[in-house]
């Protein structure tokens, strides 16, 4: 009997949560297709949805808790000490977070207007346009997300902020708030805006996800041609530093190529981005246009 109790006690000890507990990383997502998609036919099929699965599978020593937060709520979440983001521009929350080695960068911004708009007719067959020219020399109305993240001086348009900021208090710039954290072609109807600033990948993914006819023109913006680096980020704590060190340990060519492949599923035929990415991250060729 004594041996039986000893055996049972050993089993309880071995199976105790205290002996098997893992530290938990809270991964933050936000509503921004096609990075993260939370509802509908494509829910969980965003390129960062899939990339987060790839990353967490390489970190089985941790439990992984995944939550959707607004970007404004993320400011407070860093203080919890165990918060991480898979994909964040460098330079934000410098006192609160620590970054991994960069593994990607954002593409150039562009504008979108209706194919039959006066602006599209004026631009004709051009592939790019100067945002400085549009804001200073025309009366077309620009639609953007709120220029600053609430409660901070972080701009949603870091490479374009010096061009847009002087016009914020005029009728040439209209700021729109929505839960999707992105602009939409819907803002181009009913004279709400003549053109909107967005990335190619977000524009064309909206057409796919919402099954919208492509009655629009996309033009690259000639200013802000730099590619702004992105990396993983965690709370600037002992725990966060440990997680970032772990992520850095497996950023390799497979990591780079997996990220690129998943991203390009939503940005098909963006040859320029893919070529620039491969030359910089795979071939290690310096590029002055890739900046922090």
pLDDT digits (tens, 9 = 90+) for 192-204: 999 999 999 999 9
Cβ count near 73 (within 10 Å): 13
Enter the tokens of residue 277: 């990415």
Range list of β-strands (E), 183-259? 195-199, 216-221, 227-235
pLDDT digits (tens, 9 = 90+) for 116-171: 999 999 999 999 999 999 999 999 999 998 888 776 677 788 889 999 999 998 99
pLDDT digits (tens, 9 = 90+) for 229-277: 999 999 999 999 999 999 999 999 999 999 999 999 999 889 999 999 9
Q: Which of 30-34, 83-87, 210-214 has the lowest mean pLDDT?
A: 30-34
Within this chain, domains 2-106+228-291 and 109-221 share the same CATH topology: yes
Enter the tokens of residue 72: 């404004």
Domain formed by 109-221, architecture: 3-Layer(aba) Sandwich (3.40)
Contact 64, 28 (CB under 8 A): no
**Minimal CA–CA distance to 228: which of 35, 75, 133, 87?**
87
The fourth-level CATH superfamily of domain 2-106+228-291 is Periplasmic binding protein-like II (3.40.190.10)
Quick one: pLDDT band at residue 91, thresholds 50, 70, 90?
confident
Res 277: pLDDT: 97
Contact 120, 114 (CB under 8 A): yes
| Mode of pairing for the β-strands spanning 104-105 and 227-235 | antiparallel
Q: What share of the chain is helix, strand, coil (3-state, %, to 5)?
A: 35, 20, 40
Q: Where are the domains of the chain?
A: 2-106+228-291, 109-221
Is 5's pLDDT higher than 50? no
Residues 6+ apart with CB under 8 A from 285: 279
Res 31: pLDDT: 87
Enter the tokens of residue 236: 């600037």
Encode 121-157: b = buried (16+ Cβ within 10 Å), e = exposed. Answer: eebeeeeebebbebbeeeebbbbbbeebbeeeebbbb
Contact 195, 91 (CB under 8 A): no
Is 6's pLDDT higher than 50? no
Enter the tokens of residue 242: 């440990």
Res 152: pLDDT: 67
Is 3's pLDDT higher than 90? no
Res 242: pLDDT: 98
Res 269: pLDDT: 87
Is 112's pLDDT higher than 90? yes
Q: What is the mean pLDDT of residues 178-199?
A: 87
Quick one: pLDDT band at residue 16, thresholds 50, 70, 90?
very low
DSSP 2-68: HHHHHHHHHHHHHH-HHHH---EEEEEE-SBTTTB--SSTTTT-SHHHHHHHHHHHT-TTSEEEEEE
| Mode of pairing for the β-strands spanning 216-221 and 195-199 | unpaired
């Amino acid at each position: 009997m004594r041996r039986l109790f000893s055996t049972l006690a050993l089993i309880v000890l071995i199976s105790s949560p205290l002996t098997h507990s893992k530290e938990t990383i809270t991964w933050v997502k936000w509503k921004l297709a096609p990075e993260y998609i939370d509802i509908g036919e494509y829910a969980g099929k965003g390129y960062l949805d899939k990339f987060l699965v790839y990353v967490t599978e390489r970190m089985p020593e941790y439990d992984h808790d995944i939550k959707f937060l607004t970007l404004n709520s993320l400011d407070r979440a860093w203080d919890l000490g165990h918060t991480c983001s898979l994909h964040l521009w460098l330079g934000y929350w410098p006192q609160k977070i620590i970054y991994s080695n960069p593994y990607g960068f954002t593409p150039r911004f562009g504008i979108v207007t209706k194919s039959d708009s006066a602006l599209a007719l004026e631009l004709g067959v051009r592939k790019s346009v100067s945002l400085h020219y549009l804001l200073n020399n025309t009366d077309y109305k620009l639609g953007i997300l709120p220029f600053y993240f609430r409660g901070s001086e972080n701009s949603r348009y870091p490479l374009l902020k010096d061009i847009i900021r002087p016009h914020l208090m005029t009728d040439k710039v209209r700021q729109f708030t929505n839960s999707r954290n992105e602009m939409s072609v819907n803002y181009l109807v009913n004279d709400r805006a003549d053109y909107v600033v967005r990335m190619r990948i977000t524009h064309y993914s909206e057409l796919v996800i919402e099954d919208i006819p492509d009655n629009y023109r996309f033009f690259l913006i000639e200013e802000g041609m730099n590619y702004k680096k992105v990396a993983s980020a965690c709370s600037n704590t002992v725990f966060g530093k440990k997680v970032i060190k772990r992520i850095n340990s497996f950023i390799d060519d497979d990591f780079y190529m997996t990220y690129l492949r998943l991203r390009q599923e939503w940005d098909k035929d963006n040859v320029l981005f893919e070529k620039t990415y491969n030359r910089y991250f795979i071939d290690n060729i310096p590029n002055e246009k890739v900046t922090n």
